[in-house]
Structure 1
Amino acid sequence: MSIANETVLVLSPNEYWVLQAELNVKSEKEAARYGGALFDLNDEYRYVAQKSEDNRYVVIAYNPTELSQRLIAASATSIKKMAFAQWVFDDITRPVKLPSGKYLTLIDGIVMEIDSTYIDTNGSIKLSDALSTPRLFLKTVGIEGMVPSEVTTKTLRNTLIVLLIFLGNLLAIGIVGYQENRILEEKTSMILSSSKLPETSFEREALIDSLKKKEKKQLHIREVSKEISLLAIEGKIITPPPPALPSLPPVIPPSADGVVLIPGSKPGEANRLIVDNTPSIPSIELHGEGIRELSYDGNGIYMVIDADDANARNSLKNTIMNRFKHAQINEHNTQIEVRLK
């Protein structure tokens, strides 16, 4: 049938399921959600509803897969919507005769297709006359996605554009990849040339493997050194009080040069000088806390840390054990020896 300059395909009652239900909902959309509970059908079915009275709805169940075959058989490219006979003939007052010889009739608000044996066909009308009745509005369902859409020139053009863009991207990726491979090959060739080894020799493979191991070891040493730099080791210098100066014999007044030896010095003793009547004493030996020694022997890092405070030593040992899993720690008096691999 045609309505509002659109062609609508009307489905017979044999192509869907229908029932009336009393539902306490506010809209037809909400009523359709109860379709799965009202019908004992599989998951392929969809549901629509139409309000007939207050809190009373006519719910229809249809299978899009089955209807798609029906729509393809109609082969009418102008059809964009479909309607159920329940919606088209829900207000008929006389039976509608179908081309098959059966009749559409309204029984308790449900449009049914029935044989003439079971109804009074007097006063019936033809299907064409029933469909020609003017209608201002008809509830319909779109058929998008139920049948293959017609391939148009615009669709082909857009598809071609997308394919060309995709092909261009693949080509660009291929060119960039080829250039990068060429650069890597050139660098590899330069390394092989500098190594003065045949490309197929075992020595070349051993050299490459050795370089990789050396690089890995250097990276590990840098990481360990960074962790060591983050240790909270406070360095400080402890200066003991200076020793008392020995009593000095009388000295000879300085010469014109201002420097003289102290009389009474014995062989083997440290030389002491008087500069401008001021004695010079040996340098005082200093003692401090912090990292005393830090070295790398090719296999690991060796470190000696001075810490006079016992609590500080214990805290430092715990910190080192937490940060370095394979640390070996030995304690000697106020010193901590640490070996890190």
Structure 2
Amino acid sequence: MLSSFNIKKKARFFCTKYSLIYRFFCRSEPLVYIDVLEQTTVSSKSILLLSPNDYWVMRAKLNVKSEKEAANYGAALFDLSNEYRYEAQRIEKDSYILIAYNPTKLSQRLSVSTAIIKKMTFAQWVFNDQTHPIHLPNGKYLTTLDGIVIEIDGLYLNTNTSIELDTALSYPRTFLRTAPIEKLVSYELSSKTLRNTLIILLILLGNLATITVSSYQESLQLSKEIDTLFSLSKIPETSIEREAILDSLKKKEKKQLRIRHVSKEISILPIEGKIITPPSALPSLPPVIPTSSDGVVLIPGSKPGEPNRLIVDNTPSIPAIELHGEGIREFSYDGNGIYIVIDAEDANVRNSLKNTIMNRFKHAQVNEHNTQIEVRLK
């Protein structure tokens, strides 16, 4: 696997040797070294180049899959303040170059002219494959030591093969890595950020206006409906009686909904209605010839102790025989609560019904009298 150093070296060789490749693939934006920024004319295509004195750098072995994951380890490896930000560059497998920089301190070095610069880079990313020392305007040199670009005094180097900074910056470069200048000048808002913020604000304002207009139209519609109801009910729009009537109607509606709900719950209770004592056969009526076709006539021949049998409008009538059975005997509502009486001969059935009622109605009062269950619901 080729390292980034070898890739950049081969790319530079092809760019220098073949002009066609240089024309289409090796052209790069002008680099502006930060130490000579004040004496250099910059444009929107310029890239700000930070010197080794503007950041910390180290090489580390990290078992991670991406440069972004490696940058997350920067805070632990450098142990600097919370103001620092971190960048990572893969050199070899599990080997990374980590850079730590302080945006606040660096922004103090920049002039107003950097507002038009969109990108920045580090000397580590640009000169890590440079084999000759680079002579800086301050008299010192940039050189590479163990893959790390440092700034050092010329007394410690062989400066015979050194090149000037302008020459080094003019070399064609491929795969030049950069970072947005917003990471450095955090206190300045870019035009893109302002434009996106304005678009978002306009969208929010449009949504708010739409909601406001919709709410206003709905309120007007409700107001018209209320006026129509007032006109149909012939109730004054402002009166104590109107408020009392509306409150009474609301209470009645609430009670009706309560009764409907309870009735529905009772209808699904496991109560099985059945007749225990069937009606006995009635004795046959003797033929009777009424003396009159109007009114109520006693049937002649009735014996003491027998139920009175009458003829009403020439039709015999027999008193109803009381039947005994199981099921709901009584269901009544007194305006405040519901009263229910349930007949059940079997004790197990009664116990099951009581448990079901208590589980379904939290405030139910359940009493048992012989074979009857009395339930009061509030």
Query: If the TM-score is normalised by the length of the shorter chain, which range does it land in?
Result: 0.7 to 0.9
1:29–1:305 distance in 2 versus 1, CA, 3 Å: closer
Unaligned 5+ runs, structure 1: 257-261, 274-279
Work out whether 1:312 is the aligned partner of 2:335.
no
User: Where do 1:97-136 residues align within 5 Å?
Assistant: 97-116=135-154, 119=157, 121-136=159-174
**Structure 1 CA distance for aligned equivalents of residues 70 and 207 of structure 2:** 49
1:51-82 deviation per Cα after TM superposition (whole angstroms, max 9, x unaligned): 1x6765432223445555666755273x5443
Report the counterpart of residue 3 of structure 2 in structure 1.
Answer: none
Task: State the partner residue of 2:340.
Answer: 303
Counterpart residue identity of residue 304, structure 1: V
Structure 2 segments unaligned to the other structure (5+ residues): 1-21, 31-46, 290-298, 311-316
TM-score normalised per structure 1: 0.74
Which residue is 2:295 aligned to?
none
CA–CA distance in structure 1, aligned partners of residues 70 and 205 of structure 2: 49
Question: Does the CA contact (< 8 Å) of 2:279 and 2:321 recur in 1?
Answer: no
Q: CA deviation at 1:179?
A: 2.4
Cα deviation, residue 296, structure 1 = 1.2
2:217 corresponds to: 179
- Work out whether residues 46 and 63 of structure 1, in 8 Å CA contact, stay in contact via their aligned partners in 2: no
For residues 192-244 of structure 1, give each alpha carbon's deviation from its aligned partner in whole angstroms, at most 9, with x where no partner exists. Answer: 55364561x44443333323222222222221111111211000112358489
Structure 2 equivalent of residue 12 of structure 1: 51
CA-based RMSD: 4.2
Number of the residue aligned with 1:141: 178
CA contact (8 A) 1:104 1:112 kept: yes
**Aligned match of 1:323:** 360
1:57 and 1:6 mapped to 2: Cα distance? 26
CA contact (8 A) 1:46 1:64 kept: no
Q: Give the stretch that moved more between structures: 263-272 or 299-308.
A: 263-272
Provide the C-alpha distance between the structure 2 equivalents of 1:234 and 1:305, rounded to a whole number of angstroms: 10
CA deviation string 1:103-161 (max 9, x = no partner): 223334432223445555445321112222333443x1221643557537xx86x8877
Query: Is 1:40 paired with 2:79?
Result: yes
Label 1:338 to 1:144 Cα distance change in 2 as closer, same or farther (>3 A).
same
Aligned to 1:259: none
Q: Which moved more, 1:215-224 or 1:129-138?
A: 129-138
* Structure 1 residues 316-336: Cα deviation after superposition (integer angstroms, max 9, x where no partner): 122212222222233222222
Residue identity matched to 1:297: D
Shift of the 226–145 alpha-carbon distance from structure 1 to 2, 3 Å rule, reads farther
How high is the TM-score relative to the length of structure 2? 0.67
User: What displacement does 1:289 show?
Assistant: 0.8
**Equivalent residue runs for 1:67-216 within 5 Å:** 67=106, 73=112, 75=114, 77=116, 79-116=117-154, 119=157, 121-138=159-176, 140-143=177-180, 145-146=182-183, 147=185, 151=191, 166-192=204-230, 194=233, 196-197=235-236, 199=238, 201-216=239-254
Q: What do the CA deviations read for 1:15-50 (whole angstroms, capped 9, x no partner)?
A: 111123345667656654543332112344212134
Q: Match for 1:40: what amino acid?
A: D
Kindly provide the amino acid, as one letter, of the partner of residue 46 in structure 1.
Y
Task: Give the distance between the partners of 1:26 and 1:224, measured in 2 at CA.
Answer: 64
Match of 2:34 in 1: none
Q: Deviations over 1:274-297 (max 9, x none)?
A: xxxxxx998754321101111111
Three-state SS of the structure 2 residue aligned to 1:111 is strand
1: distance between equivalents of 2:57 and 2:28? 28
- AA in 2 matched with 1:83: T
- Counterpart Cα distance in 1 of 2:300 and 2:174: 137
Identity %: 64
**Aligned counterparts of 1:182 and 1:137: Cα–Cα separation in 2:** 64
Alignment check: 8 A CA contact 2:366 2:376 kept: yes
TM-aligned CA distance change 1:331 to 1:37, over 3 Å: closer
Between the aligned partners of 1:255 and 1:21, the Cα distance in structure 2 is 123
